[in-house]
């Protein structure tokens, strides 16, 4: 089997199926317990479902952000082939999270939902994060990359960094007070974004040296003195 066949017909379907396991589990738990307070979802199943889906949204978002650094560190280039799928799963779980909030938590009471978005800051931030993710999902196809052009597409998709920061902020604000879990997620996000800043600075320094080899040589000479 070639590497291409293995990625396309084994690894990708496996990643796809694995990404659906959390949703399948929570759907099974909700249906089997009839959303009752004594089932596996605890005393408040609706809150459990909403939080569970929020957790998986932020996990997939951070996983998508982790692809480039992990590829850079390990040198395992095929990893990039999974980035789009993982990013789309982040958006998919965000849709499920928002749907559970609108349908199960608020019973489609749009006036109440609007008030909530306006009043509770963490919901405003969550909504803004969701709005940022939507154009990224909509432009994730090869056709859209072609239509936008590589440069514009790359610039637009930098919004994922802002979305990552805002998702962590939404989590931190929602939990109220200093709690370990949101801090862990925010730290992971900081490391993943920090890696990019460091890589960017390194690239710039290298480009500067290539543009000005005399100065680079002089600098190196000065160092030896």
Under 8 Å CB-to-CB from 43, ≥6 apart: which residues?
Answer: 37
Q: How far is CA 201 from the centre of its chain?
A: 23
x/- map, 93-132, ligand HEM, by CB under 6 A: -x--xx--x---------------------x--xx-xx--
Q: Does 137 bind ligand HEM (CB under 6 A)?
A: no
Residue 41 is inside which H or E element, if any? none
Tell me phi and psi for residue 178, to 5 degrees: -80, 115
Q: How far is CA 15 from the centre of its chain?
A: 16
**Among 47, 68, 160, 193, contact with ligand HEM (rule: CB under 6 A):** 47
Under 8 Å CB-to-CB from 30, ≥6 apart: which residues?
Answer: 41, 45, 49
Q: Which is nearer to ligand HEM, 11 or 161 (CB)?
A: 161
Task: From 44-52, 66-74, 79-87, 153-161, give the range in contact with ligand HEM by CB under 6 A.
Answer: 44-52
Q: Does 51 bind ligand HEM (CB under 6 A)?
A: yes
List residues near ligand HEM by CB under 6 A. 47, 50-51, 54-55, 57-58, 61, 94, 97-98, 101, 123, 126-127, 129-130, 133, 167, 170-171, 174
């Amino acid at each position: 089997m070639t590497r291409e066949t293995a990625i396309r017909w084994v690894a990708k379907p496996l990643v796809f199926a694995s990404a659906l396991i959390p949703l399948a589990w929570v759907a099974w738990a909700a249906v089997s317990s009839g959303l009752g307070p004594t089932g596996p979802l605890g005393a408040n199943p609706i809150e459990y479902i909403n939080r569970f889906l929020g957790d998986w949204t932020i996990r997939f978002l951070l996983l998508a952000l982790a692809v480039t650094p992990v590829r850079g560190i390990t040198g395992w280039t095929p990893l990039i082939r999974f980035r789009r799928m993982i990013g789309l799963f982040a958006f998919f779980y965000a849709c499920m999270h928002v749907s559970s909030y609108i349908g199960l938590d608020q019973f489609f009471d749009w006036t109440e939902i609007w008030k909530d978005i306006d009043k509770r800051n963490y919901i405003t931030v969550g909504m803004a994060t969701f709005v940022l993710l939507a154009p990224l999902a909509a432009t994730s196809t090869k056709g859209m990359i072609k239509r936008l052009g590589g440069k514009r597409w790359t610039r637009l998709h930098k919004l994922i960094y802002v979305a990552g920061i805002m998702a962590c902020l939404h989590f931190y604000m929602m939990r109220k007070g200093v709690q370990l879990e949101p801090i862990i997620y925010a730290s992971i996000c900081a490391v993943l974004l920090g890696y990019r800043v460091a890589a960017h600075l390194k690239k710039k320094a290298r480009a500067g040296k290539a543009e000005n080899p005399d100065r680079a040589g002089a600098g190196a000479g000065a160092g030896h003195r």
